[in-house]
Amino acid sequence: MASRRLLTLHPLAALALCLAYSMAAKAFGQDTQHDDAPGNDTSTLAEIGPHGQHMPRNITYSQWQKICFKDSLAHLVCRTTTNGTWDTGQTAVRVDLIERQSDNTTRLQIFLPVGLYLQAGVKVTVDAGLSVHLPYNWCLTNICVAGNLIEPRLMGEIEAGRKLTLQVVDSNLLTIPTTIPLKQFAAVHKGKPTKTVELPTPDE
């Protein structure tokens, strides 16, 4: 099993992280690229192979919302986001599409609990289309983040799609799927932000 990298954050970095992201608290489920695109390393998982599928606990997703952050140079970073929670109210998964106005890039970023098989990454599928593989980037003590820049093609599929399916692999090598509705995504993504946050300058 892949080891998790633990991050020690500078206080200012921690503040920025708190502004941009929320934390998940428990395991996904009970414990809890295209797959053939160049550069995707799924050989370890292919050699071991998942042992089956395990359905997660029921997850309820919030409506999509768009939140933007503006720095002192008026650079804008917007994220279109949804948060999935269990019936206890605890966060199970969070999905962010983050766009930087300055470089016209889009990053798909997914927050998940610890306790998953990190080498497998996250498999992302829009409707019945081709799947994209997102690697895990880093972990804290109670959360792991997978993400990567995505192509305009995938962004278009998400805007036009009906559902976004995520598949992860747990520590028992069982595949766990969850499906996120996309019905409201395009309108929210193309619309005005729900909220715009002015980030403080370094000397404030």
Mean pLDDT by 10 residues, the chain (204 residues): 41 40 36 38 45 72 95 85 90 93 89 92 95 95 94 95 95 91 96 87 58
Domain 23-198: top CATH class: mainly beta
How far is residue 153's CA from residue 167's CA, in Å, rounded to a whole number?
A: 20
pLDDT of residue 168: 94
- Give me the pLDDT at residue 88, please: 86
Average pLDDT, the chain: 78
pTM of the model: 0.71
38 and 58 Cβ atoms separated by less than 8 Å: no
- pLDDT given for residue 91 in this prediction: 86
Joined together, the tokens standing for residue 45 give 């998982």
pLDDT of 36: 39
Residue-wise DSSP of 138-194: EE-SS-EEEEEE--HHHHHHHHH-SEEEEEEEBTTSEEEEEEEE-TTHHHHHHS--S
